[in-house]
C-alpha cells in the first residue's frame, strides 16, 4: 500500500537560511557562483522512519491475516462458512433467517412418498455426476477422491429398486436435478476449486444433517425403514477424516485467492442442494 509521510519541519529547505551561501567575487554575469558550507540539517526526531516501520508492519499483518478455521486446515474454513449459511434451528452457528420450507425444523415437515422419490432420484443423478467425474478424471486434484467410501450412487440405486418392488413408480429426474448435474460438469472442466466446494458440501452435509432428515422422514412415511442411502461400509468417522485430510492436502497447493474463490461457491452449493431437498415436500 502506498504511504505518504509528512515532511518533517527539519527538512524544510526554505526555512534554513544557512543551507547555502553564494559568493560572487567577480561579475555574476560571467562567473560561476561558489557554493559554500552546503550541509543538510540533521533530523531531530524519528517521526518519518517510525511511520515507515508502522506502515510496513501493518502490511505484513495484512499479509498474514488469519481466516476463521485456517489454523486447523482448509476443511475447517469450509465448515465455518457452511455453518453460517444454516438457520439457528438447523445449527447453533447458523446465521440465516428461516425462509424456505425445507429450512423449517424437520419435525414440522409433511413429506410424501412421491416427493421423497423425486428427491432420491435427483440425488442419485447428482451423485452419479460427481462420482463419474471423479472416477474418469485424470486430473490429480480429483484423483485424490476416488473410492473414498463416501460414494452414494450405488446405495441410491439399491433403494430405488426396493421402492419399485413395493409397487412405486420411479420418476424421471426433475429439471432441478438436471440443472445441478450440468452445472457440476461445467465446473469440473473449468473451475476445480468451485467443484471441490460442491464435493465437500454434498458429501459432508449428507453424513450429518442428511442422516437426521432421512431418519425423520422414515419415521413419517416408511415405518422407520432405514435406506441404504444412509448407511456406509466401514466407520463413517474414519472415512470422513480420510477425506478431510485429502481436501486439506489439495488446498495446500492453492493460492489464498483460490481458497477464497472456493469458499465463495458455498452459497451456490446450498442453493442447488436446497432446491433438491425441497422436493421431499412436493
What is the DSSP track for the chain?
----PPPPGGG-GGG-GGG-EEE-SS-TTTSPPEEES--PPPP-S-HHHHHHHHHHHHHHHHHTPPPTTGGG-HHHHHHHHHHHTSBTTT-TT--BPP-SGGGS-GGG----HHHHHHHHHHHHHHHHHHHHHHHH---HHHHTTTT-S---HHHHHHHHHHHHHTTPPPPPPPHHHHHHHHHHHHHHHH-HHHHHHHHHHHHHHIIIIIHHHHHHHHHHHSTTPPPGGG--SS-HHHHHHHHHHHHHHHHTTS-HHHHHHHHHTHHHHHHHHHHHHGGGG-
Question: What does the CA dihedral 102, 106, 150, 231 come to, rounded to 10 degrees?
Answer: -140
Nearest to 222 by CA among 163, 276, 269: 163
pLDDT over threshold 70, residue 58 = no
Q: What is the pLDDT of residues 112-164, one digit of tens each?
A: 999 999 999 999 999 999 999 999 998 889 999 999 999 999 999 999 999 99
Q: Alpha-carbon distance 101 to 85, whole Å?
A: 15
Contact between 141 and 209 under an 8 Å Cβ cutoff? The reply is no
pLDDT over threshold 60, residue 25 = no
All domains in the chain, ordered by first residue: 74-280 (1.20.910.10)
> What pLDDT is recorded for position 60?
53
Top-confidence range, 11-25, 61-75, 144-158: 144-158
Q: What is the pLDDT of residues 70-121, one digit of tens each?
A: 999 999 999 999 999 988 777 777 777 888 888 888 888 999 999 999 999 9
Query: What pTM was estimated for this model as a whole?
Result: 0.76
- Cell (9 digits) for 83: 455453518
Q: Alpha-carbon distance 123 to 103, whole Å?
A: 18
Q: DSSP secondary structure string, 153-189?
A: HHHHHHHHHHHHHTTPPPPPPPHHHHHHHHHHHHHHH
Give the sign of the dihedral formed by CA 174, CA 143, CA 204, CA 251: negative
> What pLDDT is recorded for position 22?
36
Longest dimension (CA), the chain: 119
> What pLDDT is recorded for position 29?
35
Q: Alpha-carbon distance 212 to 216, whole Å?
A: 6
Q: Report the mean per-residue pLDDT for the chain.
A: 83
pLDDT over threshold 70, residue 211 = yes
pLDDT over threshold 90, residue 249 = yes
> What pLDDT is recorded for position 57?
53
Q: What is the pLDDT of residues 181-201, one digit of tens each?
A: 999 999 999 999 999 999 999
pLDDT over threshold 90, residue 21 = no
The Cα-based distances of 235 to 122, 200, 239 in angstroms read 26, 18, 6
> What pLDDT is recorded for position 23?
39
Q: Alpha-carbon distance 172 to 200, whole Å?
A: 26
pLDDT over threshold 70, residue 257 = yes
> What pLDDT is recorded for position 18?
41
In this structure, the strands spanning 34-36 and 21-23 are antiparallel
pLDDT over threshold 80, residue 68 = yes
- Cell (9 digits) for 243: 477425506
Q: Which of 60-69, 124-133, 166-175, 252-261 has the lowest mean pLDDT?
A: 60-69
Mean pLDDT, residues 259-263: 98
Report which of residues 224 and 57 the model is more confident about: 224
Amino acid at each position: 500500500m502506498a504511504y505518504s509521510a509528512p515532511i518533517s519541519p527539519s527538512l524544510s529547505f526554505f526555512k534554513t537560511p544557512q543551507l547555502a551561501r553564494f559568493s560572487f567575487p567577480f561579475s555574476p554575469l560571467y562567473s560561476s557562483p561558489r557554493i559554500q558550507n552546503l550541509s543538510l540539517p540533521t533530523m531531530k526526531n524519528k517521526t518519518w522512519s517510525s511511520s515507515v516501520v508502522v506502515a510496513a508492519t501493518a502490511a505484513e499483518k495484512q499479509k498474514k491475516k488469519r481466516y476463521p478455521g485456517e489454523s486447523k486446515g482448509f476443511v475447517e474454513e469450509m465448515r465455518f462458512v457452511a455453518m453460517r449459511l444454516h438457520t439457528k434451528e438447523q445449527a447453533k452457528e447458523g446465521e440465516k433467517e428461516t425462509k424456505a420450507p425445507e429450512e423449517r425444523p424437520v419435525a414440522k415437515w409433511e413429506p410424501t412418498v412421491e416427493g421423497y422419490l423425486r428427491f432420491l432420484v435427483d440425488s442419485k443423478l447428482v451423485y452419479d455426476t460427481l462420482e463419474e467425474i471423479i472416477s474418469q478424471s485424470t486430473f490429480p486434484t480429483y484423483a485424490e477422491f476416488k473410492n473414498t467410501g463416501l460414494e452414494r450412487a450405488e446405495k441410491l440405486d439399491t433403494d430405488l429398486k426396493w421402492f419399485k418392488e413395493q409397487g412405486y413408480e420411479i420418476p424421471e429426474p426433475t429439471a432441478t436435478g438436471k440443472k445441478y448435474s450440468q452445472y457440476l460438469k461445467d465446473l469440473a472442466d473449468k473451475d476445480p476449486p468451485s467443484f471441490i466446494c460442491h464435493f465437500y458440501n454434498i458429501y459432508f452435509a449428507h453424513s450429518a444433517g442428511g442422516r437426521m432428515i432421512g431418519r425423520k422422514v422414515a419415521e413419517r412415511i416408511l415405518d422407520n425403514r432405514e435406506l441404504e442411502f444412509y448407511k456406509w461400509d466401514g466407520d463413517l468417522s474414519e472415512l470422513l477424516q480420510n477425506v478431510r485430510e485429502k481436501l486439506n492436502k489439495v488446498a495446500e497447493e492453492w493460492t489464498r485467492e483460490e481458497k477464497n474463490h472456493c469458499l465463495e461457491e458455498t452459497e451456490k452449493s446450498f442453493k442447488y442442494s436446497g432446491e433438491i431437498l425441497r422436493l421431499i415436500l412436493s
